[in-house]
Amino acid sequence: MGPLSLDAHVRLTRGALDLDVSLAAPDGGVVAVLGPNGAGKTTAIHALAGLVRLGGGHVRVDGTTWADGTRHLDPSLRAVGMLAADHLLFPHLTARGNVAFGPRSRGASRADALARADAELDALGVSDLADRRPAALSHGQAQRVALARALATRPRLLLLDEPLSALDPALRPQVRAGLAARLRTYDGATVLVTHDPLDALTLADHLVFVEDGRVVQEGSPTEVVARPRDAYVAHVVGLNLLRGRGRDAGVVDTALGPVVTAGHEHRGDSWVAFAPSAVALYSESPHGSTRNTWPVHVAAVEMVGQTARVRLAVDGPTDREPAPLVAEVTAASVAALRLQPGQALWAGVKATEVTAYPA
């Protein structure tokens, strides 16, 4: 096996942030970095770009060391393309001129730079905008032009910092689709920082979750969605997650009390996960096949189209905080139960809807 496209161990301290994060792309591909504000995501990619010096660790691209404990290759000498939420196009240049700027500044002839610009604009489906200046572009169009500019120098590492966050929600699917198509043909490594789980799940080959400067979970999108191991990760992928301890008969003791599973046999530290859509709400204690039931109070109701996410507080001993739970129900259920904050209900989850796995 040849050298990794990206092999990075970013260690540094900035103010209160103590960052120690490893990122790797074995053969190109897209690595998405997710985490709450202040986790260190943007600092990590600034270190990859050379805008921030490492305190330790290393950055290697295609087997070449860009930085380590003693070496720091200047950002201008790193084969990096970078795109943030704000496109930062030069207002006095056309789209074609903006994209050609990078190759031209690196010594390409005017003809070659313009040819590169035309190729990238065409690859992103915006070649018809070549003669427009940024003021005449929509935000979505400008963002695709900015991506073309980032790729025009043929970088070996592409850094995308919340590239879709400033777009109107109606524009994001179109721009996301264009970005996905272009990344499939890009042969370098890409690091994508995002808060949007849809961006991560549809664009990335590998997910890295960072909290307080540390990696709390990583894996393929399929692995992470199937088995989250951190509360923030579970929130991003949209699951209820509980930590507990497995015991006999497929039962896991959790903060909600005993949770009956479909046959979890691990007698030790375990995770229990289930989708909000698996949580049924009742006005009275349910009877029948539902094995897991809890008295709850409604904390909040958020309508999204014809469904509602209902945040619940599970009632328990008075000497501890109620455990949180999220249900997803139809608008008809909201009306039938007359859901409102403070309302007392029962929540139930069938054992067959519960996924359990060793912690």
Task: Give the per-residue pLDDT at 165.
Answer: 85
Rounded-to-integer distance, Cα 38 and Cα 308, Å: 30
C-beta of residue 2 within 8 angstroms of C-beta of residue 24: no
Does the domain made of 249-258+276-350 have the CATH classification 3.30.70.260?
no
Strands 269-274 and 280-282 come out as unpaired
Residue 284 has pLDDT above 60, yes or no: yes
Average pLDDT over residues 5-34: 93
All CATH 2.40.50.100 domain ranges in the chain, comma separated = 249-258+276-350
Task: Give the per-residue pLDDT at 289.
Answer: 76
Q: pLDDT grade, residue 178 (50/70/90)?
A: confident
pLDDT in tens, 210-240: 999 999 999 999 999 889 999 889 988 889 9
Strands across the sheet containing 64-67: 64-67, 56-61, 6-14, 17-25, 214-219, 206-211, 29-34, 189-193, 157-161, 80-84
Task: Give the per-residue pLDDT at 2.
Answer: 52
C-beta of residue 124 within 8 angstroms of C-beta of residue 176: no
Average pLDDT over residues 62-90: 91
Average pLDDT over residues 204-211: 95
DSSP H helical segments within the chain, as ranges?
41-49, 95-105, 110-123, 139-151, 172-185, 197-203, 221-226, 231-237, 331-337
Residue 182 Cα distances to 124, 161, 214, angstroms: 7, 17, 30
Centre a 10 Å sphere on the Cβ of residue 271 and count the other Cβ atoms it contains.
Answer: 24
Q: pLDDT grade, residue 293 (50/70/90)?
A: very high
Alpha carbon 89 to chain centroid, angstroms: 26
Task: Give the per-residue pLDDT at 4.
Answer: 66
Task: Give the per-residue pLDDT at 322.
Answer: 67
Rounded-to-integer distance, Cα 247 and Cα 283, Å: 31
pLDDT in tens, 23-49: 999 888 999 999 999 999 999 999 999
Q: pLDDT grade, residue 203 (50/70/90)?
A: very high
Average pLDDT over residues 293-307: 90
Residue 3 has pLDDT above 70, yes or no: no
Q: What top-level class would CATH report for the domain 6-235?
A: alpha beta
CA angle 204, 210, 213 (to 5 degrees): 140
Residue 330 has pLDDT above 70, yes or no: yes
All CATH 3.40.50.300 domain ranges in the chain, comma separated = 6-235
pLDDT in tens, 91-108: 999 999 999 999 998 889
pLDDT in tens, 155-170: 999 999 998 888 888 8
> pLDDT exceeding 90 applies to what percent of the chain?
65
Q: What pTM does this model have?
A: 0.85
